[in-house]
């Protein structure tokens, strides 16, 4: 028993925390954001094809999602459950490492404190490669610690598996591999392990595990490597380049990390004796073994905790490239452990209640607050109420009628309605099951996820983005093609005029397919369908201010008939 908390009680507390948080977030997200996120479309259709990669990242995160969707229904809460499972596993590995370094009470607090950070709350809403990397990196840190200190082969095997999982999640895993190597070089005891077979056994096993992915990459024209390299090229820019990119971009990335982790820092600061913060503890006399152990722990926490961010800042500074703050969300699994370890003798435990109060506030603020803010955003322009035609024109100019171009509108887009409407029309024509749906990524992803058939997705009708689709497969099975009709009342679609003719009772309009889709389907028989008006969905039984008065999105679609 440590600090009044036995090992069994500590396990119960951490399990209760993980289960409670995962359950609450799943219910909350399902109620307030009942639709797919943007990144969800890609990771969903990569996973259901069981490919070794997508056109952006390796596919282990997608496999993890698909494994759960094989047994879960095609409902939005299934998607959120998987994200919270990954987050719960992250907390478990953080706690498993924390109890190796800290006493039970501190280990528990070092784990739960992370839930107050935006990286571990609101951003877990979108399950993607970043979310799964939280899990993979926390597992790698724990296995590395055990391998370096326990030294048994089974932990080096576990490290190889964790390293493979990190690499098959995102190539950013190279940063944690570099950090691990530097950590071993600094500590003499660990440096001597480089002369044994153990590290090289782990490397060899990791290469064997990841080899199918590299074969896939070669066979698919190095698509994931090109995407990773492209993020540092001039062709891949998220924001306009400032006058001093070599200074501005690194500072912006650093600010993003501090901003997202600030709740953790502020919560912990409540516990500190600030007057003694920089004074060493002169009363403690440690043995040489304890001093060596402390030095090793400090090196591990500092290098593994800070080196990935330091390397990212260096890259941004040297290349003058913008790095999205979310790319650093899986760098900070050791933040809570580090705070409670380095400042353990500066903590005032009588302030624990104040700490938990502030921490609870941040947990609520960084989850419910970010989701509920959508309900209080007013309509774009009150003048739009003056006339429907003017309203549509204004919205078409600002591209607000396409939900995938405005994240604030995503919860209210009727993704499930669209899927069921197309499924009904398709079956009414007697075509049987839907096997391929293509076109705009998010629309196709919604139809694939919410339909019972779970068809393959042919993203943007680009064979390089959907490696499982070939010309022969398309000719054999046909497809459904979807696209947005942004300016459907002002007579234009991506610069293409609409063809229309008036009937006796109603105006019949034929909407042209976007030029890039027509070119991709050149020579194939296409059957144009009546566009679908997708109603804004109510959230919690009401329609938030954000979509009141806005015209409902219109989606064009067509059927590519099988050629055989």
pLDDT in tens, 349-375: 889 999 999 999 998 888 877 777 666
pLDDT of residue 10: 87
Residue 11 CA neighbour count, 13 Å, CB half: 4
The whole-angstrom separation of Cα 278 and Cα 294 is: 18
pLDDT of residue 545: 67
pLDDT of residue 408: 66
Residue 87 reports pLDDT greater than 90: yes
pLDDT of residue 486: 59
- For residue 424 the two structure tokens come to 């009904």
Q: How confident is the model at residue 234 (pLDDT cuts 50, 70, 90)?
A: low
β-bridge mates for residue 479, sequence order: 560
Express as a percent the part of the chain with pLDDT over 70: 82
Q: How confident is the model at residue 41 (pLDDT cuts 50, 70, 90)?
A: confident
CB of 377 closer than 8 Å to CB of 545: yes
Q: How confident is the model at residue 114 (pLDDT cuts 50, 70, 90)?
A: very high
**Between 449 and 1, residue with greater pLDDT:** 449
Mean pLDDT of 205-210: 96
pLDDT of residue 511: 58
* Burial class of 186 by CB neighbour count within 10 A (0 to 12, 13 to 18, 19+): middle
Residue 499 reports pLDDT greater than 60: no
E strand spans, 446-515: 456-459, 479-484, 492-493, 496-497, 499-502, 507-510
pLDDT of residue 162: 96
Mean pLDDT of 271-280: 70
Residue 237 reports pLDDT greater than 60: no
Residue 504 reports pLDDT greater than 70: no
Mean pLDDT of 427-448: 85
Chain Cα centroid distance, residue 174: 18
Give the DSSP letter of residue 58. B
Non-local (6+) Cβ contacts of 172 within 8 A are 133, 308, 327, 330
CB of 357 closer than 8 Å to CB of 527: no
What's the predicted TM-score (pTM) here? 0.87
| DSSP letter for each residue of 226-253 | HHHHHTTSTT--SS---S-HHHHHHHHH
Residue 194 reports pLDDT greater than 90: yes
Mean pLDDT of 41-56: 84
CB of 555 closer than 8 Å to CB of 531: yes
- For residue 461 the two structure tokens come to 């009708």
Q: How confident is the model at residue 289 (pLDDT cuts 50, 70, 90)?
A: low
Residue 85 reports pLDDT greater than 90: yes
**Averaged pLDDT of the chain:** 82
CB of 218 closer than 8 Å to CB of 224: no
**Between 128 and 501, residue with greater pLDDT:** 128
pLDDT of residue 500: 36
pLDDT of residue 527: 86
Least confident of 43-57, 214-228, 447-461, 475-489: 475-489
The whole-angstrom separation of Cα 405 and Cα 410 is: 9
Least confident of 205-209, 395-399, 539-543: 395-399
Q: How confident is the model at residue 405 (pLDDT cuts 50, 70, 90)?
A: low
CB of 535 closer than 8 Å to CB of 414: yes
Q: How confident is the model at residue 406 (pLDDT cuts 50, 70, 90)?
A: low
Non-local (6+) Cβ contacts of 291 within 8 A are none
Q: How confident is the model at residue 345 (pLDDT cuts 50, 70, 90)?
A: confident
């Amino acid at each position: 028993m440590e600090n009044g908390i036995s090992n069994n009680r500590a396990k119960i507390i951490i399990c209760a925390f993980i289960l409670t948080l995962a359950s609450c977030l799943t219910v909350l997200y399902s109620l307030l954001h009942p639709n797919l996120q943007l990144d969800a479309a890609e990771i969903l259709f990569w996973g259901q094809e069981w490919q070794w990669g997508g056109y952006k990242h390796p596919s282990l995160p997608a496999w993890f999602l698909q494994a759960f969707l094989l047994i879960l229904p095609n409902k939005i809460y299934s998607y959120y459950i998987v994200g919270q499972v990954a987050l719960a596993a992250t907390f478990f590995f953080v706690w498993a490492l924390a109890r190796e370094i800290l006493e039970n009470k501190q280990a528990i607090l070092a784990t739960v404190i992370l839930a107050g950070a935006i990286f571990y709350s609101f951003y877990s809403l979108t399950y993607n490669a970043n979310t799964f990397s939280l899990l993979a990196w926390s597992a790698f840190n724990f296995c590395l610690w055990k391998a370096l200190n326990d030294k048994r082969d089974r932990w080096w095997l576990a490290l190889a598996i964790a390293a493979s999982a990190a690499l098959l999640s995102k190539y950013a895993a190279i940063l944690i591999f570099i950090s691990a190597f530097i950590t071993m070089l600094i500590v003499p005891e660990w440096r001597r392990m480089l002369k044994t077979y153990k590290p090289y056994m782990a490397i060899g096993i990791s290469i064997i595990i990841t080899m199918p992915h590299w074969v896939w990459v070669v066979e698919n024209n190095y698509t994931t490597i090109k995407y990773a390299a492209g993020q540092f090229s001039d062709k891949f820019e998220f924001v306009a380049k400032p006058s001093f990119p070599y200074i501005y971009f690194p500072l912006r990335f650093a600010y993003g990390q501090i901003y997202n982790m600030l709740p953790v820092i502020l919560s912990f600061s409540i516990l500190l004796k600030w007057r003694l913060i920089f004074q060493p503890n002169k009363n403690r006399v440690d043995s040489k073994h304890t001093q060596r152990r402390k030095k090793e722990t400090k090196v591990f926490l500092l290098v593994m905790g800070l080196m990935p961010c330091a390397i990212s800042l260096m890259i941004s500074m040297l290349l003058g490239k913008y790095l999205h703050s979310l790319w650093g969300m899986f760098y900070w699994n050791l933040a809570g452990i580090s705070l409670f370890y380095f400042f353990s003798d500066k903590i005032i435990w009588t302030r624990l209640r104040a700490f938990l109060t502030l921490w609870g506030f941040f947990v609520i603020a960084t989850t419910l607050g970010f989701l509920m803010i959508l309900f209080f955003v007013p309509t774009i322009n009150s003048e739009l109420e003056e006339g429907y035609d003017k309203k549509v024109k204004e919205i078409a100019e600002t591209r607000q009628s396409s939900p995938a171009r405005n994240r604030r509108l995503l919860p209210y887009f009727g993704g499930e309605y669209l899927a069921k409407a197309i499924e009904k029309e398709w079956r009414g024509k007697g075509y049987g099951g839907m096997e391929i749906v293509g076109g705009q990524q998010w629309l196709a992803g919604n139809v694939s996820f919410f339909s019972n058939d779970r068809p393959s997705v042919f993203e943007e009708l680009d064979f390089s983005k959907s490696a499982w689709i070939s010309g022969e497969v398309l000719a054999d099975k046909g497809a459904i093609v979807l696209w947005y009709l942004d300016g459907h009342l002002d007579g234009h679609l991506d610069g293409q005029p609409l063809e229309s003719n008036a009937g006796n009772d109603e105006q019949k309009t034929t909407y042209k397919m976007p030029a890039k889709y027509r070119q991709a389907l050149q020579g194939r028989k296409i059957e144009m369908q009546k566009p679908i008006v997708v109603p804004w969905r109510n959230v919690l039984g009401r329609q938030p201010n954000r979509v009141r008065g806005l015209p409902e999105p219109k989606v064009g679609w067509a059927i590519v008939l099988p050629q055989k």
